[in-house]
Amino acid sequence: MAVLIIGGYGWYQLQLRAVGPGKPTIFIVKPGQSAPAVASDLATAKLIRSRNAFITYLNFHHLRGEIKAGSYALSPSDSSPHIANVITVSSSLGQVVIPEGYTIRQIETAVASHGISTASFEAALAEPHTQAGLSSKPTNASLEGYLFPDSYEVVPGVTTASQLVNTMLDTFTAKVRTTYDADFAAEGLTRHQGLTLASIVEKEVSRPEDRPIVAQVFLKRLKLGMPLGSDVTVDYGAAQLGTTFSTTLNSPYNTYLHTGLPIGPICNPGLSALDAVAHPAATDYLYFVAGSDGVTHFAATYAEHQANVAKYLK
């Protein structure tokens, strides 16, 4: 019986993983639509692996009755827990909700459903911007990481792409610049570097309690001159090149090949990830692995890490 239970839990965790690489698409939750119906539509759209596992996740986390009608930018590369989190955040008429961890491409898809075309949004990104929060951003770096995740008022036919982008940059400046600069500096990081590391932490782990530990692991690796070895940075680089994950990928985002931080953020992180970098945990850990049991396991030595991989990554 115990073997059956363990096997069933392993299947459940596997079914919660992302379907695989893919472009974001607009997914619509209709008013009054039931959780099973939403799960069926997600499965049909190939955005989740399993309808039943998704419903089980909603029930276990008391989210079944929290699904909100609206338009959401979802991708096959999003895990089921991430999708569940996104669709339980209200997306009321006149507002576009940008979840924590969205990339510029995902934001473009989200705002397109509110009347702002991808072409106009990209043109707005290319405009000169003078917000104080951008002062440490390298001249040739994109605005990835600087479009603060939040709810923004967007009136179709009235709000322009330029207005929206500037509002997002203003929000970033207000919430990040004075709040984190001193703490980032204490870790030897500029604002741009702190933001870059926060974006990696955002994508690596979702549990708030794990994030300060993961931030500490990466900060320690930076100080020791070790490669960060982060899969999520390679995923981002592969997406930029239109290819698949490889630890030998020729990309400045490949933190297996290149030491130090990548050239810029890989997503637009929220306050939890920024807090983790500003206030990392005090541990001796140098390694971590996200186990198939849904828990992140940390280790101080490579031998301990290998043991964790053998035990928890099945």
Give dist(CA 23, CA 12) in Å, integer.
25
**Mean pLDDT for each 10-residue chunk of the chain (314 residues)?**
53 90 82 91 95 94 88 86 84 75 95 91 97 95 97 81 96 94 97 98 94 98 97 94 92 97 98 98 95 88 94 84
Residue 307 lies inside a defined structural domain of this protein:
yes
Residue 7: its pLDDT value, please? 52
Give me the amino acid identity at 58: L
pTM, rounded to two decimals:
0.72
Residue 175 lies inside a defined structural domain of this protein:
no
Q: What is the CATH classification number for the domain harbouring 75?
A: 3.30.1490.480
Give me the amino acid identity at 301: T
Boundary-marking domain end, from 39, 72, 91: 91
What torsion do the CA atoms of 136, 137, 143, 147 make, to the nearest 10 degrees?
Answer: -10
> Domains in the chain: how many in total?
2
Residues 6 or more apart whose Cβ sits within 8 Å of residue 201: 211, 214, 215, 218, 269, 273, 276, 277
Boundary-marking domain end, from 91, 118, 133: 91
Residue 256 lies inside a defined structural domain of this protein:
yes
Boundary-marking domain end, from 57, 91, 125: 91
Residue 158: its pLDDT value, please? 74
Same domain, 85 and 194: no
The domain of 290 spans 189-312
Q: If phi over 0 gives left and psi between -120 and 50 gives alpha, with beta otherwise, what is residue 183?
A: alpha
Same domain, 87 and 195: no
Residue 79 lies inside a defined structural domain of this protein:
yes
CA distances 46 to 16, 21, 60, 308, Å, are 13, 11, 22, 32
